[in-house]
Amino acid sequence: MEVIFYSNNCPRCRVLKQRLKDQKIKYKKSEDAEVLKKHGIMSFPALEVDNKVLNFLEAINWLKN
């Protein structure tokens, strides 16, 4: 599984980063907002999991499952 964490170090980014750490999920970090815009996501943070881009709420729900 490949996970890319799109972040600009905002408060929600720190929450998502901590949840990834808590679940010991390895990820690559990116600050490339253009990738997010291409997928219709207009704010940080986001996760890309196996080529599917998730906004913040979707990412939190993915981590719960």
**Beta carbons of 45 and 12 less than 8 angstroms apart:** yes
How many domains are contained in the chain? Answer: 1
Partners of residue 49 on adjacent β-strands:
3, 52
Taking only the tens place, the pLDDT of each residue in 26-43 is 999 999 989 889 988 888
Residue 65 has pLDDT above 90, yes or no: no
Asked whether residue 47 carries a pLDDT value surpassing 90, the answer given is yes
Rg (CA), the chain: 10
Summarised one tens digit per residue, pLDDT across range 4-18 is 999 999 999 999 999
Report if pTM > 0.85.
yes
Domain with 57 in it: what CATH number? 3.40.30.10
Q: How confident is the model at residue 3 (pLDDT cuts 50, 70, 90)?
A: very high
Domain of 59 in residue numbering reads as 3-64
Q: 12 and 5 in contact (C-beta within 8 Å)?
A: no
